[in-house]
A = this chain, B = another copy of it.
Amino acid sequence: MSSLKDQGGVIVNETRPTRDVYEAVADPTRRKLLQLLADVEESPLNELTRHFEMGRTAVSKHLTILKEAGLVTSRRVGRETRFKLNAAPLKEIQDWVAFYNKFWSVRLSHLKQLLEEEEE
């Protein structure tokens, strides 16, 4: 499924993302996985699973989804599969949310005025 093209180089672990990054990040378990991988920079499934109250299979599925979104890469090392964070796709979310920044700023300036008028 995911082609491992290692041409001289660097990561290239997956075909371009097949899964919406917003969706990938919607689940708390998956956010926690990203967090864990941010700390250790590489970790096998077994180790990751230890931090959750669910089975290995479930965690594996979550990691698959993260991979589909391009948020993690994996490589086999001996009998274990090591996962690694790839935060780049999160840029899409950052750009998206940045647009709305102005709205909650504006809102705060209106707020004082609002409070002096009334409440609903």
Contact = CB atoms under 8 A, between A and B. Distances in A.
B8 A118 contact: yes
A6 to B, nearest CB: 5
A26 B92 CA distance: 13
**Interface SS majority for chain A:** helix
Contact of A7 (B10, B11, B120): B120
Nearest to A101: B94
A43 interface: no
Contacts of A20: 26, 28
Interface string A85-96: 111101101101
Interface residues of A, number: 45
A120 to B, nearest CB: 6
20 contacts: A5-B120, A6-B119, A8-B118, A10-B111, A11-B107, A12-B119, A20-B26, A20-B28, A22-B31, A26-B26, A31-B96, A75-B120, A85-B103, A86-B107, A88-B104, A88-B107, A91-B104, A94-B94, A94-B98, A97-B97
Interface of A: 4-13, 20, 22-23, 25-26, 28, 31, 34, 38, 75, 85-88, 90-91, 93-94, 96-101, 103-104, 107, 110-111, 114-115, 117-120
